[in-house]
Amino acid sequence: MMQTYVIGDVHGHLSRLIGAHALIEADRARHGDRDTPVIHVGDLVDRGPDSRGVIDFMLRGQDEGRNWVTLLGNHDRMFAGFMADPDYHDPGLRAGLEWLDPPLGGAETLASYGVRDAGERLLFDIHAEATAAVDPRHVAFIRGLPAYHLRGEALFVHAGVRPGVPLAAQTEDDLVWIRRGFLEDRSDHGALIVHGHTPETHVTHFGNRLDVDTGAGYGRELSAVVVEGRDAWLLTAAGRVPVLRA
């Protein structure tokens, strides 16, 4: 049966991302696997200390021909939006809240590029400094990320899907932002929806969806999981641990 590795929301934690990949490589060695892809469900940036290092890591993997898929997260989209226009306001954000405000972690992302005190200076000065400091290849990488990836019996996406809407008709806003209308829905979506965006204390299987965000953006663990059909196993130093359905 088709297998897929998946890593939850990274949020600028390079050391945890490297650790998650180490668990995957150990699992490959145990199972004689070489070709199974690794899917990252988005939110590479914000809150953590090294968003720049995370994107560098992803680009090195791309340059080395690694079989990795990286999906667009809402925080990634906000970063790219700011780099294009300092006045950018993501449609998913409530009025009055901006990417550089403390809850969102945009200032930490810019700090990883050497742009300090981003929440305390004039917006256009910050943007001018960011434009000079941020590697254009990093921005192009973020802008090119897909919003979903369908593989076998699983649909991988950052936030979720709008229930009852065909995949081709899903909006990017929902795919990277949705919570209400999706999280409480227990209907079969046709595929197992594997997503991040909404942190849980542990990887949780709800039957119709699998949440792999375990809160790295809030100082908790970054989880690596293997999905086979509609079943999942958490990867640990001791091996695979089944993720039981809630």
pLDDT tens-digit profile of 45-94?
999 999 999 999 999 999 999 999 999 999 999 999 999 999 999 999 99
Residue 126 has pLDDT above 90, yes or no: yes
Over residues 198-213, the pLDDT tens digits come to: 999 999 999 999 999 9
Residue 15 has pLDDT above 90, yes or no: yes
| pLDDT band per the 50, 70, 90 thresholds, residue 117 | confident
| pLDDT band per the 50, 70, 90 thresholds, residue 121 | confident
Q: Quick one: average pLDDT of 93-109?
A: 94
| pLDDT band per the 50, 70, 90 thresholds, residue 246 | confident
| pLDDT band per the 50, 70, 90 thresholds, residue 1 | confident
Over residues 151-201, the pLDDT tens digits come to: 999 999 999 999 999 999 999 999 999 999 999 999 999 999 999 999 999
What pTM does this model have? 0.97
The 3 state secondary structure assigned to the chain is: CCEEEEECCCCCCHHHHHHHHHHHHHHHHHHCCCCCCEEECCCCCCCCCCHHHHHHHHHHHHHCCCCEEECCCHHHHHHHHHHHCCCCCCCCCCCCCCCCCCCCCHHHHHHCCCCCCCCCCCHHHHHHHHHHHCCHHHHHHHHCCCCEEEECCEEEECCCCCCCCCHHHCCHHHHHHCCCCCCCCCCCCCCEEEECCCCCCCCEECCCEEECCCCHHHCCCCCEEEEECCEEEEEECCEEEECCEC
Q: Is the sign of the CA dihedral 49, 143, 7, 175 positive or negative?
A: positive
Q: Quick one: average pLDDT of 35-52?
A: 97
pLDDT of residue 233: 98
